[in-house]
Amino acid sequence: MGAGRARPDAAARDRRSARAQRAGAVQRAALRGALRRGVARHAPRPTALASVYDEAQRWLRAGCFESLVHDLRAVLRLASDRAEEPSAVMLDSRTLRSTPEGGARAAWDGHKRTRGSKLHAAVDTLGQVLALHVTPAHADDRSAVAALSDAVQEATGDSVDLASVDQGDTGERAAKAAADHGIVFLVVSAHGEAAPPVQELSAPAQKWRMT
């Protein structure tokens, strides 16, 4: 070792090793989708559970997981010869049956004949999730348009200008909520036929390409 270089002390190596162990435990637990339950099993001994949990909270506050998802989505889009950020999204929803822990959020969806919560989702044309919003099951799809539009533009840097929706998302209020965030609706019928963008919110003879 050169004369001008100090030998790293054992305490510094131990601290780096402990941080690496905590980071590995957080990553494995997050990938399992059960941070609270999985962290105890994956935490390397003698790393304390509290230390791993604190590390995870710092990552959450810093937005590390959101950044990881964003970067992964961008890589997958570039690998498919698409732009890094999408210009179009698809909005849809599904009703999920509630559990006893559903509490006050659970409601009856008369159309699906199911009691539970409704999950509203916005995905790009490759199916990558951009935004999620949960409401009681009896809420209609139009009620989530504003929240989804805002979250989509925040996630993509305001790159989206077109949303493909079904008949459940149509209506003046829903279209205006999307337009307030710079998004025009393209209504798709049950047979997969696309109607022109909402007339009062789109430029004349505007050509749209789903990317």
Taking only the tens place, the pLDDT of each residue in 44-53 is: 555 566 777 7
Residues of the chain with CATH 3.90.350.10: 83-201
pTM (2 d.p.): 0.64
Please report, for the chain, how many H helices and E strands are present, in that order.
6, 6
Cα–Cα distance, 182 to 28 (Å, whole number): 38
Cα–Cα distance, 78 to 80 (Å, whole number): 5
Distance of CA 96 to the CA centre of its chain: 17
Largest distance between two CA atoms of the chain: 78
Q: What does the pLDDT look like over 91-139, one tens digit per residue?
A: 998 888 877 666 667 787 777 778 888 889 999 989 999 999 988 888 8
Distance of CA 55 to the CA centre of its chain: 22
Q: Which fold has domain 83-201?
A: Transposase Inhibitor Protein From Tn5; Chain A, domain 1 (3.90.350)
Cα–Cα distance, 189 to 166 (Å, whole number): 6
